[in-house]
Every structure is written in structure tokens, then in C-alpha cells.
Structure 1
Amino acid sequence: MTHPIPEFVPQHLQAIGVEVTDDQLQRLAAYPYLMLETNKQFNLTAIREPEEAWKRHIIDSLTLVPGLIEWPENSKLVDVGTGGGLPGIPIAIAIPKLKVTLLETTGKKANFCKHAAEVLGLNNVVVINNRAETIGQNKLYREQFDMAVSRAVGPMRILLEFMLPLVKVGGWMYALKGPALEQELADAGDALAKLGAGEIVAVEAYPDEFENHSVVVGIEKADRTPKTYPRLPGIPKQQPL
């Protein structure tokens, strides 16, 4: 079954530097309908219309793609706090050569992600229903990923403790942030120093003519994260570094 694609989509994809095939475009188009159908059962997203989902969820998630596309085949990416699969599912559709792990604490949301990956035929996606603090201390996942991504999860000083322990030395974490990024990075000075962060790169996610002012920030994993981190579940949010 094909789904309508809003007229603005090709222009927006071109503006953010993302190229997709017709098959990928149809998978992207099917995804918001899956989300909105599931929304009838429980609150997966506040968005109620496919066009709004394209603008606020899908295009926004795809702004991460230009920074990820050059990673080699079978590079491992983890989406921390994916919710209903954002940004991980759009990334998995747009860059099928990546091995994408979706990490989500809430069981219903994790189950939706599994369902969506199956319906969309995403063989490069696995879903973990657990907390970042827990798997960050599990040797099967700790420092095993080339990349970690997140969107709308929390302040940078908290995100760093969730994400960097999962990333290999030499890998990168990428986050979509708003105009308060500079202050968030200033507040995160201790976390950056303690968790093994290196180079920081920030780029505007959208061209100037767009009203959206999201910023993609990339942070290199330069050193191994001390075993102390991440701390026990709940502590990173209650007592940020």
C-alpha cells in the first residue's frame, strides 16, 4: 500500500542534503501512519496529522543523515531513548548499510518499534527494552557502538552520561538540540571531562530560510569512560554531572 507524500517533502529533503530512493521514500511515508494508528491505543506522539509528522519528526530526524552517511558498511548505531523510533527508524530507512539499535525504556513504545521495523521491512534494526544506565554497564553494549544518536531526550549533561558509555573510543555521539545548545554545553563541562569526550562540532540542521533552528551537535569519544559511569538508573537525571 502506498501513502501520500506531502508536496514539501522533496524540497525539504534536498535542502537538508538527503537523497532517498522511491522505495525508501515510501517506507518513510508509511511510518507516520503506523505511529498514528498506534496512537489510538496509547499516547505515542502528540502529533495527529501525517503532514505534521513529516515536518516535526521525519525531516527533523533525517537532518542527522548527512553526518552519518560516510560511516562504513555495518557500522553500529544506537538510538538512545528512541520513543516511537525517532530518529532511529528514519535513519535506518535512509542508510540501510548501518546496523541500528533502538533503545527504549517504556515497553509499549519498544513493542511499537519492533512492530514498525517488521512492517517496514527493516532487517538492519533491533530493539532493546531497557535503560541506558543499565546497558551502559553491560559488557555486551558498553563501548560497542560506533555512533549514538538522540533527539528530545534531555539536557546535554544528562545525555552525555546516557550516550558516551555506549560509544567506542574513536566513535561519535550526535544529538539534535535547540538554540540553548551553547549554554547546555557550558553546563556540561564536568560531564564532558569525566566521560571521555573529545572534539565537539555543531552545525545548523536546516538552511537559514527554514523556521526550524535545530542544531546537530557531534561529540567525539576520545577516551574510555570510567567504569563509574553511567551511574545507577535514575541518578543521572536526579544528580546531573
Structure 2
Amino acid sequence: MTDRFELDGDQIQSMLEVLGDAQSLGFLGQGPVERHIDHALGFAEAWSDARPVLAPARIADLGSGGGVPGLVLAVVTEAHLLLIDGKSKRTDWLAEAAWRLGVQSRVTVLNRPAEEVGQDPEWRGTCDVVVARSFAGPAPTAECAAGLVQRGGVVVVSEPPEVTDRWNALAAAPLGFGPALLVDLPGGHYAVLIARDEPLESRFPRTWAAQKKRPLFGL
């Protein structure tokens, strides 16, 4: 990991406490909290591999839940974080967690469906980076992210290590992405999607029901 995306001792302690609370509330999966932090930092390393000079001004986290990777990225970058989750208990907690970590001035928490946020003129196409961890399958994740990412921006999605073909049809889908780049790092496995320059069709992202009924690629 580069020095650009590291937590200092005080930040690590605060993050362990906050994410430990997320686990106890059932908002974050089990396992050592340190591993969750390393996995979150891997998102930043993955987009840096794809866009070495990128210094994102706004990052969206789809299905932010227990704050991984969104809260970690809020601490290790200067970006404004848009934390999106459809469950009010989680968004209430995310707002409190941002305050505890001292990043509340650079965090906006939205209790709304991600596909709805991607159609909102206030947020549509405004994010340099979109991240997603355990949000949904490849097709709905790409479609929801497409509504938020700037043209030329980057989407980073956590990946299971044993699967290598989930994104094969991405470039043929009408979402404006090129082929996915798969990145393996010590903290985890990631798919990096680059948004091409052509505008996204206004019908995307579709409603969740439409996405589930007619996925743009895959199963």
C-alpha cells in the first residue's frame, strides 16, 4: 500500500472503534475489523492503478451499510463522500459515524435507492469514483454506478477471488463502460470499470424492478 492511502495510529484506533460498533449492530460482516479496513483501502489502490493521477473530488459508495469502504475513504482522501443506502437505520448510523470520525463536513448520507440517486440531477454524473462492496450482481451494480460516475470516471467493485468471467459482457452493454480490469491486491480482489466519454442514455439507471426483470448482461 502506498503512503497516499494509509491511516495513522489515531485514525486506525478510531476506525476500529467505529467499525466494531457497525459489526455489533449487524451492519458489517464478521471477521477481524482490520481486514475490513485493508479491503477498503484496496479500493483506492485499485483506482490508482487505473488512473494514477486521479485525485477524486467526489466518491459515491453504493449500499454503504456499515461504512466500508465509504467511511475509510472519507478519512484517507480529501474527497466528498456520498454514502447511499436504502435502510434508515444504517443511514442514521452512518451520519453519526462520520461525525465520530471528524469527517462529517465531507460526507453526505442519502437514505434513497441508488438507482433513484443516479437519476437525480443533483447527483447524476457528478462522481469521479463510484465504489461498491457487496451491493448487488455485476449488471445492477454497473447500471446504478453508471448514473453517478462522470464520463471518464472510475467504478471499483469488490470481487470474489474465484470468479473471473462475471464482467465479460460489460463492454457490450449500453452503459458506456469499456472492458473491466480485474485487480488482485493484498487487501482483496476488485473489478475496475472505466466510463467512456459518450453520454449515458437518460433511461439508465432503470428502476430496480426493471433491472431485475431485464438485466443488461449476465444472469
1:30 equivalent in alignment to 2:30: no
Question: What is the CA–CA distance in structure 2 between the aligned matches of 1:46 and 1:18, rounded to whole Å?
Answer: 23
Residue aligning to 1:198: 178
Counterpart among 106, 126, 129 of residue 87 in structure 2: 106
In 1: Cα distance, 2:69 partner to 2:37 partner: 8
**Residue type at the aligned position of 1:196:** G
SS of residue in 1 equivalent to 2:203: coil
TM (norm. structure 1) is: 0.78
CA distance in 1, matches of 2:71, 2:121: 25
TM-score normalised to the size of structure 2? 0.85
How far residue 32 of structure 1 moved from its aligned partner, in angstroms, is: 2.1
Contact map agreement 2:171 2:178 (CA 8 A) in 1: no
Q: How far apart are residue 18 of structure 1 and its match?
A: 4.5
Equivalent AA in structure 1 for residue 161 of structure 2: P
Structure 1's unaligned 5+ residue stretches are 1-12, 207-211
- Matches of 2:162 and 2:108 in 1, distance apart? 32
Does the 8 A contact of 1:34 with 1:116 survive in 2?
Answer: no
**Misfit runs of 4+, over 6 Å:** none
Equivalent residue number for residue 5 of structure 1: none
Counterpart residue type for residue 212 of structure 2 = K
Q: Is the contact between residue 23 and residue 66 of structure 2 (CA under 8 Å) also seen in structure 1?
A: no
1:127 lines up with 2:127 in the alignment: no
Q: CA RMSD in A?
A: 2.3
Bigger Rg, which one:
1
SS of alignment partner, residue 45 of structure 2: helix
Residue 168 of structure 1: SS of its match in structure 2? Answer: strand
* One of 181, 185, 193 as aligned partner of 1:219: 193
Q: Is the 8 A contact 1:35 1:45 kept in 2?
A: yes
CA distance in 1, matches of 2:108, 2:47: 18
State how 1:72-87 maps to structure 2 within 5 Å.
72=55, 75-87=57-69
- If asked which structure has higher relative contact order (CA below 8 Å, sep 6+), I would say 2
Cα offset, 1:132, TM superposition: 1.2
Instruction: Specify the code of the residue in structure 1 equivalent to 2:45.
Output: P
Contact kept, 8 Å, 2:159 with 2:190, in 1: the verdict is yes
- Structure 2 gaps, min length 5: none
Count of aligned residue pairs for this structure pair: 210
